[in-house]
């Protein structure tokens, strides 16, 4: 006579992968601007939060391996497909060419990352060149010039790449070096620059 089974068991191994609860609200599953050729950095930050909130970020990152058998397979397939749908629904139709052959969320994310990261580096280098080569002549409007430099600086740091970030002290040096004149006017420019730096910078969503 076989031993009675423990309550709650049926001889089948219980699932260890929890099936994600699909969110129905578009305010949760949709980012304001779908991915296009120009907004990868901002889109990536927003999209990662959507995936995290929906419980499937690990699938886009390839951190959750597909199991071999049991209920876990069904739950994993659902979660990975859910992550794929979230990604597909948040990109423009022109971006579909980059993920058309991908069958897993991690492959989709890696493909988009490979395409856009290289473009992002090219963009950030171009902005850095603009920052370091933008100079002010004697008749320049100080505030307008500072605003232009500050815009470049914010765009560089908004890229969120540690290799290219420019600190506040370095930015002050850049501002000072961009002026081709000296004396009291340069001093007034430096003071104006320090005043500008005390203002909170615009933060990306």
Helix orientation angle between 168-177 and 184-198, rounded to the nearest 10 degrees: 150
Per-domain boundaries in the chain: 33-116, 134-198
Give the integer Cα–Cα distance in Å for 194 and 61.
Answer: 41
Q: Band of the pLDDT at 204, cuts 50, 70, 90?
A: very low
**What's the Cα-to-Cα distance from 101 to each of 38, 51, 65, rounded to whole Å?**
23, 21, 19
Structure tokens at 101: 């052959």
Output the average pLDDT for the chain: 77
pLDDT at 192 over 70: no
- Vertex 173, ends 155 and 123: CA angle to 5°? 25
Which pLDDT score, from 0 to 100, does residue 96 have? Answer: 94
Are 49 and 31 in contact by the 8 Å Cβ rule? The answer is no
Q: Which tens digit of pLDDT belongs to each residue from 92-132?
A: 999 999 998 899 999 999 999 888 876 656 666 777 777 77
Mean pLDDT of the 51-76 span: 93
**Is pLDDT of 36 > 50?**
yes
Q: What is the pLDDT of residue 95?
A: 94
| Per-residue pLDDT at 46 exceeds 80 | yes
Is the pLDDT at 8 greater than 90? The verdict is no
Angle at 87 between CA 14 and CA 154, to 5 degrees: 125
pLDDT recorded at residue 159: 65
pLDDT value at residue 2: 44
């Amino acid at each position: 006579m076989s031993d009675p089974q423990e309550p709650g068991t049926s001889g089948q191994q219980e699932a260890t992968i929890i099936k994600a609860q699909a969110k129905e609200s578009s305010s949760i599953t949709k980012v304001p601007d779908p991915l296009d050729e120009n907004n990868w950095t901002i889109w990536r930050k927003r999209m990662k939060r959507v995936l995290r909130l929906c419980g499937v970020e690990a699938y886009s990152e390839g951190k959750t391996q597909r199991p071999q058998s049991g209920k876990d397979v069904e739950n994993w397939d659902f979660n990975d497909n859910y992550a794929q749908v979230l990604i597909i629904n948040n990109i423009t139709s022109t971006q579909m060419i980059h993920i058309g052959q991908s069958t897993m969320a991690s492959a989709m994310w890696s493909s988009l990352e490979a395409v856009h990261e290289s473009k992002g580096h090219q963009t950030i280098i171009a902005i850095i060149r603009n920052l370091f080569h933008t100079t002010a002549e004697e008749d320049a409007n100080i505030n307008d010039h500072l605003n232009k430099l500050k815009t470049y600086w914010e765009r560089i740091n908004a890229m969120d790449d540690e290799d290219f970030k420019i600190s506040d002290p370095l930015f002050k040096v850049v501002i000072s070096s961009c002026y081709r004149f000296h004396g009291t006017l340069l001093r007034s420019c430096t003071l104006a620059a320090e005043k500008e730096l005390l203002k909170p910078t615009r933060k990306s969503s």
